[in-house]
Structure formats: C-alpha cells, structure tokens
C-alpha cells in the first residue's frame, strides 16, 4: 500500500492518483494542507529522499517568502518552513508501507513505484 502525500488541487497529484488507479496499485491520499503534516513525517521524507529533493523551490509559496528565509537555507530551516507551509513540499510524495519514499511523478519515479508495488 502506498500513501500519497500532496494537495487535492495539484494537477500532478491528480495525474498520479489516476495513474495509480490505472496500474491497479493500492493507495490512499493524504492532503498535506487539509489533513496537515507532522514535522516527523517531513523529517522521515527528507531522510529517505534528501531535503533538497523534498523542498519545492519552484513553488509560488517559495517565491513569496522573504529572501532572508530562503538565502543560504540549511536543512533544519527548510524542514521547519515545509512544516509551516506544506505547499513547499514537492509533490507528490509516495511512501510505501515498508518505508521507501519516492518524490515527484516522472518516468523514473513511475518505474520505482512499479518496483515497490511488486515487492509486497
């Protein structure tokens, strides 16, 4: 079973959920804005995938932050910002019940998700 963390209004998240359904991959969706996200979850994702991978610097939320918060950002500050502003988390984040974390939804991530699904 995969847990998909994202935003319900995110086009990429919607595409990912549709793709998972088409592939017959069991999943549940967790909206990081509506349902919230714990700092422990963000730390776990960052440990597995790298905080730089997890931080969405292309988001409008990131661009709206003061430069004093974004210039030369370190891991602890990035994790805190992602907890305060869940839209800063790159989407979607897939977490397999065995602890594997996949961030993003391109062909390499799709291939990894298929492998994880086969490793039940």
Residues annotated as catalytic (active site), given as ranges: 10
Query: Which pairs count as long-range contacts for 8-16, CB under 8 Å and 24+ apart, including other chains?
Result: 8/33, 8/34, 10/91, 10/92, 12/91, 12/92, 12/105, 13/91, 13/92, 13/105, 15/105, 16/92, 16/94, 16/105
Distance CA 77, CA 58 (A): 17
**CA-based R_g, the chain, Å:** 14
């Amino acid at each position: 079973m995969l847990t998909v963390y994202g935003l319900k209004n995110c086009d990429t998240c919607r595409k990912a959920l549709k793709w998972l359904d088409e592939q017959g991959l069991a999943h549940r969706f967790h909206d990081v804005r509506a349902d919230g996200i714990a700092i422990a979850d963000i730390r776990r994702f960052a440990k597995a995938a790298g905080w730089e991978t997890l931080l969405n610097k292309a988001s409008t939320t990131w661009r709206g932050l003061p430069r004093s918060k974004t210039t030369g950002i370190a891991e602890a500050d990035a994790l805190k910002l992602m907890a305060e502003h869940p839209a800063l988390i790159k989407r979607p984040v897939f977490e397999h019940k065995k602890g594997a974390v996949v961030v993003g939804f391109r062909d390499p991530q799709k291939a990894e998700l298929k492998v994880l699904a086969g490793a039940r």
